[in-house]
């Protein structure tokens, strides 16, 4: 009997697991509650403009993510800088630039840091001390997990100015938490891998098309070609273990169906009734930590309760469409401003006139419940301070998107709470960027987690007992004869 795995969650982790399992000859049913794939890294349409759910970038060192793009056939839909190059704007000073040289690491950033005008001469002189400490730090050291980054950097000569105008540029966006409150091991991973690794590791990659084309349409096409069964609108209520091996995945009341870019969401009427459970040999829970904790409890996983303690951090995106261009830069960072990062999304979104800027606000606890009118009052003047041409531009549209649980809360102590892909129940595995991948909660971490979970089940499936029933939809629960 062919083995079957049910994957709960169609984000990057679930997609990656599905591809890897199909490559190994395993039958796959991918269950996604939304009518599209891609999770938190997809797109939606607003007034004929395509809006990304978040302003996601990747770095050249994100090798697993780039391998996924290649498998999906969309490498030509992203672009990577020739060399790391970021313009940093401040309303209190002129523009600054952080650009690497062709020198080997760690010398490739030395000139940029030594001449970085947003730090004082004394602050620049001490940057090397913190960089060396990051380079020597072992992210897997248990004692390091309990340290807060702000205090750790302060002990290494980094004052408030250096932390806000340099280290926060990388840490806040990468870890989605206030820089002073961040996990030292995860911050060290970011700095060691991206800035102190290969000299080209931090070169920034961005999509040249909406994320939905990369992470929803392309995976849907590939999964269909390789024979994966993708079920949209499938909300999972519980995961139960069966006597003799295997699992029953119970769906909540509601319709399941299929989705294509051409036809949209279609209700599945093939069985004559709405499916309410699936029988399968193994399960991957590729969902956020809180949801995994609840589903894990239904499967009798004693360790599941700890996952909910990882918490969550929000991201808010402020979207402004001007009636004319206000900047020629594809993206910029900002300091001494409520603005953090700004991306020109005009081309990707299909805006035909004017310019569409998206402001990405990580660690957005202070903004996530702020009314749109208040955010408009705060961020339009802030953008005018950074881009003077915006003061004379008209506003075609202003709106806000909020990701309340964008990432797990990457704070001290979180490392000990992140589980591996394997669980205490054979045949039940975890995926998701919140699991212990060795990476922060990023697209790269999500893809790595999907590979980890697939490899765990490929090993375990060979030794699991064969259940004495047919894998697939449970006829007793669907009304089929």
pLDDT digits (tens, 9 = 90+) for 458-481: 999 987 665 544 444 443 333 332
- Mean pLDDT calculated for residue range 402-430: 97
The pLDDT, as a whole number, for residue 270 is 39
Answer with the one of 161, 182, 202 that is the final residue of a domain.
202
The answer to whether residue 91 is domain-embedded is no
Query: 275 and 352: one domain?
Result: no
Query: 169 and 111: one domain?
Result: yes
Query: 244 and 286: one domain?
Result: yes
Q: SS3 sequence, the chain?
A: CCCEEEEECCCHHHHHHHHHHHHCCCEEEEEECCCCCCCCCCEEEECCEEEECCCCCEECCCHHHHHHHHHHCCHHHEEECCCCEEEEEECCEEEEEEECCCCCCCHHHHHHHHCCCCCCHHHHHHHHHHHHHHHHCCCCCHHHHHCEHHHHHHCCCCCHHHHHHHHHHHHHHHHCCCHHHCEHHHHHHHHHHHHCCCCCCCCEEEECCCHHHHHHHHHHHHHHHCCCEEEECCCEEEEEECCCCCEEEEECCCCCEEEECCCEEEECCCCCCCCCEEEECEEEECCCHHHHHHHHHHCCCHHHHHHHHHCCEEEEEEEEEECCCCCCCCEEEECCCCCCEEEECHHHHCCCCCEEEEEEECCCCCCCCCCHHHHHHHHHHHHHHHCHHHHHCCEEEEEEEEEEEEECCCCCCCHHHCCCCECCCCCEEECCCCCCCCCCCCHHHHHHHHHHHHHHHHHHHCCCCCCCCCCEECHHHHCCC
Answer with the one of 142, 168, 202 that is the final residue of a domain.
202
| CATH number of the CATH domain containing 436 | 3.50.50.60
pLDDT digits (tens, 9 = 90+) for 70-109: 999 999 999 999 999 999 999 989 899 999 999 999 999 9
Average pLDDT of the chain is 92
The pLDDT, as a whole number, for residue 464 is 63
The answer to whether residue 425 is domain-embedded is yes
Query: 379 and 400: one domain?
Result: yes
pLDDT digits (tens, 9 = 90+) for 169-204: 999 999 999 999 999 999 999 999 999 999 999 999
Which residues span the domain enclosing 352?
Answer: 313-407
Query: 198 and 107: one domain?
Result: yes
The pLDDT, as a whole number, for residue 142 is 83
pLDDT digits (tens, 9 = 90+) for 327-352: 999 999 999 999 999 999 999 999 99
pLDDT digits (tens, 9 = 90+) for 377-390: 999 999 999 999 99
Query: 302 and 330: one domain?
Result: no
The pLDDT, as a whole number, for residue 253 is 63
Query: 304 and 380: one domain?
Result: no
Residue 16 confidence (pLDDT) above 90: yes
The answer to whether residue 70 is domain-embedded is no
- Mean pLDDT calculated for residue range 40-67: 95
Query: 289 and 215: one domain?
Result: yes
The answer to whether residue 61 is domain-embedded is no
The answer to whether residue 420 is domain-embedded is yes
Query: 349 and 416: one domain?
Result: no
pTM for the model: 0.92
The pLDDT, as a whole number, for residue 478 is 34
The answer to whether residue 333 is domain-embedded is yes
Query: 295 and 418: one domain?
Result: yes
| CATH number of the CATH domain containing 385 | 3.90.660.10
Query: 121 and 156: one domain?
Result: yes
Answer with the one of 202, 221, 242 that is the final residue of a domain.
202
Query: 278 and 145: one domain?
Result: no
The answer to whether residue 142 is domain-embedded is yes
The pLDDT, as a whole number, for residue 463 is 79
| CATH number of the CATH domain containing 182 | 1.10.405
* Total count of domains within the chain: 3
The answer to whether residue 89 is domain-embedded is no
């Amino acid at each position: 009997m062919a083995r079957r795995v049910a994957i709960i969650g169609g984000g990057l982790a679930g997609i990656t697991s599905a591809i890897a399992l199909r490559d190994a000859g395993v039958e796959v049913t991918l269950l996604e509650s939304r009518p599209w794939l891609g999770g938190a890294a997809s797109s939606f349409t607003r007034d004929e403009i395509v809006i990304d759910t978040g302003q996601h970038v990747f770095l050249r060192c994100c090798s697993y993510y780039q391998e996924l793009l290649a498998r999906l056939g969309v490498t030509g839909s992203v672009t990577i800088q020739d060399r790391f190059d970021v313009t940093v704007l401040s309303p209190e000073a002129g523009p600054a630039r952080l650009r690497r040289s062709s020198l080997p690491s760690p010398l490739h950033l030395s000139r940029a840091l030594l001449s970085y005008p947003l730090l004082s001469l004394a602050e620049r002189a001490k940057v090397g001390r913190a960089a060396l400490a990051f380079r020597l730090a072992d992210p897997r050291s248990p004692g390091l997990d309990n340290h807060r980054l702000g205090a750790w950097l302060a002990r290494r000569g980094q004052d408030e100015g250096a932390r806000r105008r340099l280290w926060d540029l990388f840490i806040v966006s990468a870890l989605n938490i206030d820089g002073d409150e961040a996990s030292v091991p995860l911050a060290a991973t970011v700095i060691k891998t991206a800035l102190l690794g290969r000299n080209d590791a931090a070169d920034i990659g961005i999509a040249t098309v909406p994320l939905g084309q990369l992470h929803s349409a392309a995976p849907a096409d590939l999964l269909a070609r390789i024979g994966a069964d993708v079920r949209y609108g499938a909300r999972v209520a519980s995961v139960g273990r069966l006597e003799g091996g295997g699992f029953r995945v119970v769906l909540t009341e509601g319709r399941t169906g299929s989705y294509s870019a051409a036809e949209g969401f279609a209700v599945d009427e093939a069985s004559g009734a709405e499916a309410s459970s699936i029988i399968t040999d193994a399960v991957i829970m590729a969902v956020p930590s809180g949801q995994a904790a609840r589903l894990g409890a239904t499967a009798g996983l004693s360790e599941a309760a700890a996952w909910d303690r990882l918490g969550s951090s929000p991201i808010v995106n402020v979207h402004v469409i001007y009636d004319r261009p206000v900047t020629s830069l594809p993206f910029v960072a900002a300091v001494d401003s409520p603005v953090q990062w700004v991306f020109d999304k005009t081309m990707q979104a299909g805006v035909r006139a004017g310019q569409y800027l998206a402001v990405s606000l990580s660690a957005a606890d202070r903004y996530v419940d702020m009314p749109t009118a208040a955010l408009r009052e705060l961020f339009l003047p802030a953008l005018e301070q950074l881009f003077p041409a915006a003061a004379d531009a008209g506003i075609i549209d202003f709106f806000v998107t909020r990701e309340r649980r964008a990432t797990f809360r990457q704070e001290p102590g979180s490392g000990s709470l992140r589980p591996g892909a394997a669980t205490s129940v054979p045949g039940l595995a975890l995926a998701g960027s919140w699991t212990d991948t060795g990476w922060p909660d990023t697209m790269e971490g999500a893809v790595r987690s999907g590979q980890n979970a697939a490899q765990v089940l490929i090993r375990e499936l060979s030794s699991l007992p064969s259940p004495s029933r047919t894998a697939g939809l449970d006829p007793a629960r669907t009304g089929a004869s």
